[in-house]
Structure 1
Amino acid sequence: MQVRRSRDAHDERACDAALKRAFEFLGKRWNGVLLGTLMEGPASYAELKRSITGISDSMLSDRLSQLGAADLIQRVIDAGPPVAVIYRLTPAGQALLPALRELSAWAEDNLAP
């Protein structure tokens, strides 16, 4: 005998909409890695590029723009001389730090290198 789930039973197990949005955004390639890199403090474009192996210039620029538009990072220009641009976490980005640290610890314990 086949047991059929009603539509209501399936809906009860639906993923939380906010969690879905978070993973859709943080799951985009490089977004989480960039935020994790900025956990150590502000960094220049060149420092970020050196820190993240495999990211192209255009992808780095695109992801920095997306994270800025989401108010997770801030682009700060120091008039210098010399002129310098750094990226740092906003308060909203800093609010992600505990979750990112927990994810990192989980990955260390549960995912093969």
Structure 2
Amino acid sequence: METQPHGFRCGQRQLRVFRLVGKRWTLPILAALMYGPTRFSDVVRAVPGVSERVMSERLQELCEAGLVERRVAEGPPLGTWYRLTPHGEHLRPAIESLLEAAAALPE
């Protein structure tokens, strides 16, 4: 991370993360995964309004970025599970802060 005499300057790594988490649905998906390994269908239920197609896209992007891990459980029953990687866990404090801020807002 670079700093300027007058404050923050975004580097390439920071821009990459900001672009990814700034995409619609990414933060709610990450928040849903903070509680341990989660099945795809449970992530869809945890984030109302997101389509399965968009959920798949976001999860794939998060996996490619190294923030989320995908595991396929050999059945029966078959299932796909997602969890935060150690790199994804670095986002936990920021997500928790956002959740606290959201809870403090008036309804």
Normalised by the length of structure 1, the TM-score is 0.78
Q: Is residue 42 of structure 1 aligned with residue 43 of structure 2? A: no
CA deviations 1:20-59 (Å, max 9, x no partner) are 4433221100111100000111111111111111001110
What pairs with 1:44-83 in structure 2 (closer than 5 Å)? 44-83=39-78
Q: What letter matches 2:54 in structure 1? A: M
Structure 1: state its 5+ residue gaps.
1-10
Q: Is residue 16 of structure 1 aligned with residue 42 of structure 2? A: no
Normalised by the length of structure 2, the TM-score is 0.82
Larger Rg: 1
What pairs with 1:67-106 in structure 2 (closer than 5 Å)? 67-106=62-101
Pick the structure with more strand per residue: 2
- The alignment-based identity, stated in percent, is 35
Q: Within 1, Cα distance between the matches of 2:16 and 2:71?
A: 27
Bigger shift: residues 34-43 or 74-83? 74-83
Structure 2: state its 5+ residue gaps.
none
Q: How many residues align?
A: 103
Q: What letter matches 2:33 in structure 1? A: L
